[in-house]
Amino acid sequence: MYGSGLRPLSIATAVATAAAAVLIFFYAPIEADQGFSQKIFYVHVPMAIVALLGFVAAGLMAIKHLRSRDRSWDLRSYVAIHLSIILGVGVLVTGSIWAKASWGHWWRWEEPVLVSFLIVFLLYCVYFPLRFSIEDPDRQARYSSVFAITAGAFVPLNFVAVRLAEQVLHPRVFSQTGGDLPGEMFLTLMVSLLAMALLFVTLWKLELSAKHAAQQLKRLRARLELQSERRAEGRGPVPAGAGADGGAVATVPAHPTSA
């Protein structure tokens, strides 16, 4: 279900990543001001853009969940936030390394871009304790979706606020004047962005299919155990979709988010 198209997607990701690596180290020129350390830009910026888009996409998936009551959309939203958080860790660490190389400081609290990204990251870190503090699967999915929508709406607002804020040190990549990137650098950035986006979608599908397989397995095991219990009691076979109490198999979470 979720694993369809994973093989071509993985190949496309590998090709795009290899192309990006070649462009970064053999094609893009050395930046006059920052020198070789500017190469961090090609991993840091795509990671930040894809992480933020992942948060927004998770919010859209959460809307879909609340509209359709289909919990598979909640699972999609959860996995997108999970992956964006992982990329967020990468953004903060590579950003700090780049800051140290360029500005001589690991972190600048007066820089709005850095602080705003940290706020977004910490906001989404709250998602996991919130999600796993709710035991009822339906309520868990509903509350998580409300959080994902609210936080997802905050991301573009935050982006606009940062654009309006006074620039301290952090460069603006996509400004109204086009960001002043030379052609070779812009092409390299675009290929890196494509590779990062493909990597995100590949890993998202991979985690989704692993979670779906775990879910199916739990259902099968529960059904098999029920069947053997009924057989031991001398009762008939389990009707399709029936649980231990004769109702639907509801004791098994529809998706093992903690798996």
Judged by the rule CB under 8 A, the positions of this chain that interact with other proteins are 30, 34-37, 39-40, 43-44, 47, 86-87, 89-90, 93-94, 97-98, 100-101, 199, 203, 206-207, 210, 213-214, 217, 220-221, 224, 231, 259
125 close to 85: Cβ distance less than 8 angstroms: yes
- Calculate ∠ Cα 140-77-195, nearest 5°: 155
Please identify, using beta-carbon distances, which residue of 10 and 163 lies nearer to other proteins: 10
| CB of residue 39 to other proteins, shortest distance in Å | 5
198 close to 19: Cβ distance less than 8 angstroms: no
| CB of residue 40 to other proteins, shortest distance in Å | 4
What six digits make up the tokens of 20?
A: 């990006």
* φ, ψ of residue 34 in degrees (nearest 5): -95, -20
Please identify, using beta-carbon distances, which residue of 53 and 99 lies nearer to other proteins: 99
| CB of residue 67 to other proteins, shortest distance in Å | 29
| CB of residue 209 to other proteins, shortest distance in Å | 9
| CB of residue 161 to other proteins, shortest distance in Å | 27
Please identify, using beta-carbon distances, which residue of 70 and 207 lies nearer to other proteins: 207
Please identify, using beta-carbon distances, which residue of 124 and 154 lies nearer to other proteins: 124
Separation CA 87–CA 120 (nearest Å): 13
Distances (CA, A) of 74 to 50, 71, 130, 202, 211: 20, 5, 14, 18, 12
Question: Which of 145, 185, 169 is closest to 61 using CA atoms?
Answer: 145
* φ, ψ of residue 120 in degrees (nearest 5): -60, -45
Please give the DSSP secondary-structure letter assigned to residue 25: I
Please identify, using beta-carbon distances, which residue of 100 and 139 lies nearer to other proteins: 100
